[in-house]
Homo-oligomer: A and B are copies of this chain.
């Protein structure tokens, strides 16, 4: 059996003998771009039913279908980690979404802060990036993408059982070193909070410090761009509390 090299995210249920139609875009990619055809084996996942080896049974210009052969990986519950981030310039927001999926985030929550650049967050585009990144990195889950909400409103309704790892660039000596904080933290869900390029306002920083569930950390002496801070904080969480242990 040849090893399946292509991995596709689908919406349909997966199970032994299940037939799965391809979207027009997937058919174009598989048969037009990759030049595959009937008999090609592909890996399928949908975020719920694990990963399945499937075989192309119908190949057309704009359509196609596969049949599930056998389960290759069972669905697993990933570490419970959210990313709260202020949308930045498009290319860097795309990058944050891609990297969050690679780093196993289960929910992407854009937040509007005092210094957030006003560019609109496109949830549908972000969802498409999540699917592509999940296909690429072998993830079994699809991170949920939420609509952007004001940070204030999010904090007012926050479940205090979910701690927030807050990358506070301006906190200097007051903040914890992230590795030590995470190494000593007990179990439970977390979120990482990253600000926009201009950081947080003084009012936001004062307010964040009033919450016991918010844990400010310093990410070193250099000024990290928003997407670097996001990737660094998610990495440290996975290494200490997530599935990199």
> A: which residues have CB within 8 A of B?
95, 98-99, 102-104, 136-139, 177-180, 183, 218-225, 228, 231-232, 235-236, 238-240, 242-245
User: Which B residues are in CB contact (< 8 Å) with A138?
Assistant: 221-223
B179 touching A245 by the CB < 8 A rule? yes
- 5 tightest A-B contacts by CB? A179-B239, A220-B244, A232-B235, A137-B222, A235-B235
Q: Shortest CB–CB separation between residue A221 and chain B, in angstroms? A: 6
| Shortest Cβ distance from A238 into B: residue | B220
B contact residues around A232 at 8 Å (CB): 103, 231, 235
**Residue A223 contacts which of B136, B223, B240, B243 (CB distance < 8 angstroms)?**
B136
**A137 / chain B contacts, CB cutoff of 8 Å:** 222-225
A218 pairs with B236, CB closer than 8 A:
no
Q: Assembly of this chain: how many copies?
A: 2
Nearest chain B CB to A231 CB, angstrom units: 5
In Å, the complex CA distance between A178 and B137 comes to 19
List residues of chain B with CB within 8 A of the CB of A179.
Answer: 179, 183, 239-240, 244-245
Contact B220 A178 (CB under 8 A): no
Q: Would A244 and B231 count as touching, CB distance under 8 A?
A: no
Q: List 15 contacting pairs A-B, 8 Å CB cutoff, sorted by A.
A: A98-B225, A102-B222, A103-B222, A104-B222, A136-B225, A137-B225, A138-B223, A139-B222, A177-B245, A179-B240, A219-B244, A220-B238, A221-B243, A231-B235, A235-B235
A232–B99 CA distance with the chains assembled, in angstroms: 10
Which residues on the B side are within 8 Å of A224 (C-beta)? 102, 137
Query: For residue A103, which residues in chain B have a CB less than 8 angstroms away from its CB?
Result: 220, 222, 228, 232
Please indicate the chain B residues that have their CB under 8 angstroms from the CB of A242 in the complex.
220
What is the CB-to-nearest-CB distance from A211 to chain B, in angstroms, rounded to a whole number? Answer: 24
Q: Which of A95, A179, A236 has the most C-beta atoms of chain B within 10 angstroms of its own C-beta? A: A179
